[in-house]
Structure 1
């Protein structure tokens, strides 16, 4: 409201009118009536004073001219009772009083002559409040006038009073010498009473001439101000209008020029569009209303033949109806449609156009017509089809080449491995190992080429499964620990203790990336250099974890210019690297693509001759796991200082130890019962060792570092040595060997399980036939070899086999067709598992084989462990099912590490580490489970049973897993009465079986 009033007042047009109107209204309503009333009062006061003066003059005259002369005549008296006494004249005051009564009656003016002295003739007169108030005021101010408004008989009047002062000696003498005087000490100048005039105040507008002139002058000033203000405003507005008119004319002129230029440019655009685009317009029903020359040229029709015809005139019959339904739905919804159409010209020849159809709207937003812009892309479509054919041919070529190369490689690798295990001399065995390594190197190159091909075709896919990143990186570190010894490289592996137990991702591809980056770091790092492999947790919550993988080296480094293309296929940092270090330049390209598919990016920090750092951060989902902060055992460790620990070796060791038990720093450990003491290179190491042995004589001492740098005195105290890189199995094996939980390290075994069954092998290559026969016989299986798919079908009909290994590329009938035929006739014969055995490794092959009726897929060159695992999977499928549903089964078969190999495809060293770690914590875990049962804590029972069951399942302890699964399920139904006797018996038997391996 205030804002609105302010805008109104400050408006240059209506503001002055509003302000002037308000001022004049206030003047007329308040000021002038007030001024008029005051004028009336002044007039009444003046008239009242004049009347009183006249009365006083009359009284003076009466006293001097009449009373004074009559005093000499004794027969005439002067007194107030003149009306009833004869020969008596009234006193001067009585004359005035009587005269005032006469004025009241004749003129409506009340004149009072009163006093508060008790003169005899005034005893009955009663003074009102105003008269008393006026007498009091006038005695104090005899020369002043007392004026006051009052209401008499409901009429507004003005009462004016003045003092009556003794001014005549004659009056003074009379007052002092009269017998009835109320006092006889009167003095000249004393107030004896008061004159009062009461006049009515009438409602009339009364201004004096000066006020009238001032009002007129003010009105004239206001009018003059209005005239001046609006004259100035008018002149300013005229000037502004002229200025705006000039600007508008200039803008119109400019826009006219721009419009003309735009029209010319639009015409040029139209020419350009007409020259390159196929333009047409159509009405709401799709009838053509306009076409340009380009439309006519490509369609072969004239404008006359096209106008008024539907667009169907150029529609190719191959285009589906759904396409045009979508087109019309889009443009009728006032949206722009974009798409590729296949059209036909007048001669029936097809051509392709990229079409954009725009609805044209009127002022009301309604569609009035459609504008179509099309571009001829026939050459692009033909080129794309040719490229797809070429890509398909490339994929086929790669598949065929892969098969042709893998087939001899299969025999080379297989037989070279057999030679390595045979009883030949050392030199021949070394030659066989060289053949095997070379063949496997060639196989890796083929795999890299195939991976690049898959990525280019968009067929490279990542799988997601739950796995232990800790175990994966430990395994990678263990594999590369052999390579670094030849170059005397210091390899430092560090993992974050916050790393979750399980994550979900593609473990194979992550291993591929890390292995390639570490391999490059080792390859390009000179002797006595360093390679760092670090796993760091960036963020972590209950469901997700963000992990940073860092591979750093002190090698040759990469320049900024070289960083731009090292991720491109077949590229190297420089032309001399391939000659000096070898390699195809595919590794980093594959790594980069895999990391990109993991929604990350490989970052590079490098400096020539100072080293490089490759890192990437990936978000993973966290798998189900038990609380990682639970202490697993009651083993106590001591750890010494490490003063020259720039590589954080002590922290790495401490992280491993804290996963198992309590760790005490030296010398605090001297007051504890310590099982194993871990120490590092330091100046006073011998003193510490001597001191430690005083308090823990039977405890073992482990030295971390280069044992060749120690003197004989220190060496005499050391029980075990751990060199770089440090990984779990090195630590766990020492702990397992020297702990109460498991004092025996598991021995490696080269024995294989004996399986029962007969396998039909369809393989056309003689070398591969012999290799497969040897591998199958090695695990106790009989085999029958055939050379093509037709022979496989015939043998299937003649004999009963337990499984078929079916090659894909064979003469007469290939493996896929043979499989389909067997599946069609299996109801007449018998159902049998068929495993694809092929060198093809292109994405989609496995799905193709499975869809043709095969049960599984095994790639060449054959991995022996995978071969055994997949055969056992189908030969013992029913037996495994029984193991999971029977109650209280005691395993009759001896437990072997081969069971774990089948499950996890790991080497013996890693399996040993897993078993050590499992039995290292088993007693503690079983004790916690028993405590939960004793306390009837169903949640804790379910939690611990689930945790131990997971480890048992991974390690092939199926009977133990079955019992734990039963406990887990029943505890969720609030059951808690369980006995662990049978479970503990199974674990003890497994330990016994493993000791016999």
Structure 2
């Protein structure tokens, strides 16, 4: 009995200290005992539970399982409850349902069913599970939203995956389970593009991480570009356990890069085309400028009537103004590329201002607009800066102010402080809206189309001004109000300089000459350039010989020694660069001293200067020819002194007789042509020379057009345009210009070539009505008869395999005629022993002359 009591006490002690809730229930479902732990789980105290039906802790929806039949065990329930452990929910005192693990035991005491329930609280575990599940969900969400494939792989040859994210399906077309241990179907390395496999042999585990861009071949057979970044995960001993990394699809980026690369190459090609265009444009504009400015400078050196001098000065200044326009366009291109160099020097600021004001004074007076200049007393006399560029900015701003002002005034204020010289150009003109003001410094931008039509201009002036001011370290800005005027202001950090003497020369003053008489060879394919340089150099006391291409120049240099050679770069048959190279080779082979060669070109491009130097040329001079600068360059190359010229005695010149030829201006701008060539007779003679070969050139142009040889078309139209422009053949010049522009765009209109023929017909008709035509025709006939006679004699001698040296000498003397090119080619073929070619050339020329 005592032992039974002690056993009961022991069991009660165990029950009371148990963490789980323990209930005993009889066969009526009444709770008989409850340990203290029930309060933490059920919320009831043991005393509150004892005596109640067990259904009090069973959720309502489950109570049907625990009726009288269950507790009396008369019917076995459908759900196995007794003898199993289950995770269920119980009902707490406060009505809350909580998760628990329940184990129910069954036995009989005194022959009556008795149930023992063991209940473990699962709330904390469930919280942990939920937290883990939520963390896992977040992790999966993170992985799935990463733009690429996340993976963990072993460092084995096949890189088996421990884990790889679902994004691999979108990237490769294969599901993630195809790559993952323990039984992967394929390795990711099998997808590597064969050309990119080699790079993976260079992975250095000691580097910690790696990064590659490579290609893979996906399930569909497509090739994709990917970038992979990974790190080596190591244990405490430094052994690599696995690699964690990401793989991202960069196919779209690589396509964009290729497109950008192609666009870059296209842009570079466009830039090269633009450079070539600028070179051609420079050459085309500067070639006629050479004649206009050069001849007008030459004539201004003579004694003229006041009225003649005034007109000629206007021509000279207008030509130089056109040259400034060209320089604007070239400057804009240079500024865009950062290639414009600044030449700093000391200058007198009031001289520069006066020069600018005088440029626009006449236009302002004509418009009845007052042009006012105010220079503050604080402004110094001389500064160190770039006067040409300052003047260029002022020209642009004042020119615009005068252009857009119809009444009132344009005021230029100049003031200074310790650091800056400030320029304000204000006007009472049409002004600008705020939108127009915002884009006033944008390139090629004008207020609107109507303004462009009304006022003209390229819209580059303010853009270049801004670029120049900023290049000189200054700032520029504008203020404006519509219909009330504008103010453009800029300031420059100019340093005060010591007083310098005035450097503005008279327009008709020849600034330099050489003491010694030089033997000069002038090489140029443009006849007008040769004539101009011959006049200038001969007048300066030098001996001049000429050649029209590189081949002829080399021959002349073999026959005679020259002190200096002026060599054009762009010429037919052989250009100046090749001629210079061959001359230097010849001199080295023969042990001769180098003949000084100066490149003479209308190009202003730096690469042309470099090409000239590499070809062995010692100097470089631009066209239009500035004779003073040319002499200075000759003096520099020859290492001699250049000096001021003596003053010539004054003489009066009779006024030129008025023209007796009636000609339409669209056929021949006779006034302009006479100003260039000096007389009507000279003009007609030059035009007659032009027409004698022009029809053949047009036929050649047509043949090139039929073959779609646009390079040849460009050169042929270029030559026709340049010559006709120098002669004032207006319509012909315009048509040739259009053809050249078309050819540069790889197209040509055959109708335009036919229009050239029609223009030539009108020119020839005009010549036939000239009083000089008969005389010229007779002289030409005589010349042609003589040449024809000598050609026939020469042909006979060559057909007999003999060369008549006397006839060669006669033809060499006759070469500067209308047929100089053909004759020179015949002579060259004979010199090269190409007798068959020479015979063909002679027969062709005989047929032409006949």
Q: TM-score interval w.r.t. the shorter chain?
A: 0.3 to 0.5
* Structure number with bigger Rg: 1
Could you state the TM-score of these two structures normalised by the residue count of structure 2? 0.48
